[in-house]
Amino acid sequence: MLQQAAFTKVEAEKKTVTGADLLLEALKKEEVEVIFGYPGGAVLPIYDKIYDCDIMHVLPRHEQGGIHAAEGYARVSGKAGVVIATSGPGATNVVTGLADAMMDSLPLVVFTGQVATGVIGTDAFQEADILGITTPITKYNCQIRNIEEIPRIIKEAFHIATTGRPGPVLIDFPKDIAAGLVERPAEPEISLPGYQPTIEPNYLQIRKLTEAVSSAKRPVILAGAGILFSKASDLLLEYVEQQKVPVVHTLLGLGGFPADHPLFLGLAGMHGCYTANMALYECDLLVNIGARFDDRLTGNLAHFAPNATVAHIDIDPAEIGKNVPTAIPVVGDAKEALTMLVKQEGKPPEHSEWMQTLEGYKKENPYWYENSDSPLKPQRVTEMLYEKTNGEGIVVTDVGQHQMWAAQYYPLKNPDRWVTSGGLGTMGFGLPAAIGAQIADPSATVIAILGDAGFQMSTQELAVIREMNLPIKIAIFNNRSLGMVRQWQQIFYQERYSHSKIPSQPSFVKLADAYDIKAYEINSEQEAEKILAEVMKDKEPVLLDFRVAENENVYPMIAPGKGLHEMVGVKK
């Protein structure tokens, strides 16, 4: 009898699990490779289970760094980035990353600790209404109130984050739910009757688009990040070569079509190239695939593709017609749409005159800058980084002038090699995002191109880079200012540089040395050539402080309120 009782007790213990157990089991079933997390009181039951868990855990030095690292991981890997933060300030510290991921359609599953259910709503220690705070900036959020529901909620969270238009999902985890015991629930099934994204486009709309392309005289394809999210780069290339239609890219779409292809026109938008912007302005058919017509792309809407029939392929129906009237709406996944378009084998358009015009624009109006060895030009630094990596690096940027120079002078030939903050424009994004990118692809050469101001918003993450020995090459374009703010103050505010210049800075070389990271200050092209040749192939992290021209501006540029055809700083 005693042996039977002991056996029954052991069996009962095997069947009884905590909420934290269920969480980690669910993450393993989703094949989660890495967790970016920061412990605290409300998530201690979870971290006690993580102690024995074999999923990689990365400890950022700030929760915002953790969620930006998860964004970089998601962008390169195509998988959901997973984040854990504690309640109150831990949860609110991930808010910026959630907003950033929401704007740029990055799949994240974020778990925030919460105070015990019995004191929710009492202003308990480290309590924050994270659901109320994050409702506008998440694709979905919820709070777990029943332990048995944990497996189902987590399975649904990953499904929502990674299907349709990707985005961040937040799950709020009360401490007593994580610590509570329950008999292991049955395997969950997803039940989301209200969430049924349209994947396969309407055939009749595909036919309309095929006919429109065949009859166009001045067609152009605008390729956005939707090409990358749907893994449709090869199909886009096949379709473009079948139809001989030129392609322009949005900022977030870079890499979705090879930049060295003769039908690639370049980056469009505020700091895009002349050819791409004029193609959008003069086209008679604009085929948007996976882009959202944001204001930095379109400029003044009255002058955006004014004589064009607009077709828009997007998995998010809310984006179609939101900013630009659309004659041919196609709701569906970009890969599915391109598969159908390729099979149509439509007659290619007769547009030789159009192509001659665009080739003329390319030759007459390339990107340009006045090169000099001293002061060192940031455009030249970007070209050198491209040369030293043969254009094969993963380029991660922060936000500002350096971001635009990277987009202009590091032409991307392959998909999923470009990580940047687009819609929200988050300073401090670049360094931690590079960590996530390197973890996603350990064999890649990751270059973090940063401004000196944005770098100082997340310098603490150097500790993670050193701790994990991540061979990230940190290239700081140091112009001693908030470069893009200074440029706008110069052009639009009569050179009244209100708090945009940073006369006093720490030594970035000494700062890197404090983290035991190799570092160099570089003041000339000759120094850059020598040092880059030495360090780019190292399997160690390195920081490069490029002292670039302080007053260099990003051109071309479309001023606020102006149209795509009204660029300034164009080489004539």
**How many CB atoms are located within 10 Å of the residue 163 CB?**
17
In whole numbers, what is the pLDDT of the chain averaged over residues?
96
Q: Determine the pLDDT at residue 12.
A: 47
Orientation angle between helical segments 334-344 and 233-243, nearest 10 degrees:
30
Q: Is the pLDDT of residue 279 over 70?
A: yes
Q: Is the pLDDT of residue 5 over 90?
A: no
Query: Could you check whether the bond before residue 375 is cis, i.e. omega within 30 degrees of 0?
Result: yes
Angle, vertex CA 307, rays to CA 305 and CA 313, nearest 5: 55
Q: Determine the pLDDT at residue 443.
A: 96
Q: Determine the pLDDT at residue 572.
A: 57
The model's confidence at residue 14, banded by pLDDT at 50, 70 and 90, is: low
Q: pLDDT tens for residues 161-171?
A: 999 999 999 99
Q: Is the pLDDT of residue 32 over 70?
A: yes
**Chain centroid, CA 480 distance in Å:** 26
Query: Could you check whether the bond before residue 556 is cis, i.e. omega within 30 degrees of 0?
Result: yes
| Strand 219-223 relative to strand 285-289, pairing | parallel
Contacts of 450 (CB under 8 A, 6+ apart): 397, 398, 402, 430, 431, 474, 475, 476, 477
**How many CB atoms are located within 10 Å of the residue 411 CB?**
17
Q: Is the pLDDT of residue 11 over 50?
A: no
E runs forming strands in 285-331: 285-289, 309-314, 328-331
Is 539 catalytic? The answer is: no
State the Cα–Cα distance between residues 397 and 514, nearest whole angstrom: 23
The model's confidence at residue 371, banded by pLDDT at 50, 70 and 90, is: confident
Instruction: Report all structural domains of the chain as residue ranges with CATH numbers, in order of start.
Output: 17-183 (3.40.50.970), 203-364 (3.40.50.1220), 378-547 (3.40.50.970)
Q: Is the pLDDT of residue 2 over 80?
A: no
Q: Is the pLDDT of residue 217 over 80?
A: yes
Query: Could you check whether the bond before residue 432 is cis, i.e. omega within 30 degrees of 0?
Result: no
Q: Is the pLDDT of residue 7 over 60?
A: no
Is 175 catalytic? The answer is: yes
Q: Determine the pLDDT at residue 480.
A: 97
Q: pLDDT tens for residues 284-309?
A: 999 999 999 999 999 999 999 999 99
Q: Determine the pLDDT at residue 8.
A: 46
The model's confidence at residue 9, banded by pLDDT at 50, 70 and 90, is: very low
Which of 30, 63, 461, 552 is catalytic? The answer is 63
State the Cα–Cα distance between residues 381 and 361, nearest whole angstrom: 26
State the Cα–Cα distance between residues 448 and 457, nearest whole angstrom: 14
Which of 384, 484, 536, 567 is catalytic? The answer is 484
Q: Is the pLDDT of residue 281 over 50?
A: yes
Q: Is the pLDDT of residue 186 over 50?
A: yes
State the Cα–Cα distance between residues 401 and 299, nearest whole angstrom: 18
pTM: 0.96
Q: Is the pLDDT of residue 248 over 90?
A: yes
b/e per residue 339-350 (b: at least 16 CB within 10 A):
bbbeebebeebe
Is 63 catalytic? The answer is: yes
**pLDDT: is 406 or 7 the higher one?**
406
The model's confidence at residue 373, banded by pLDDT at 50, 70 and 90, is: confident
State the Cα–Cα distance between residues 247 and 245, nearest whole angstrom: 7
- Report the run of H or E that residue 277 belongs to, with start and end: helix 274-282
Q: What percent of the chain has pLDDT over 90?
A: 95
Which of 175, 335, 377, 388 is catalytic? The answer is 175
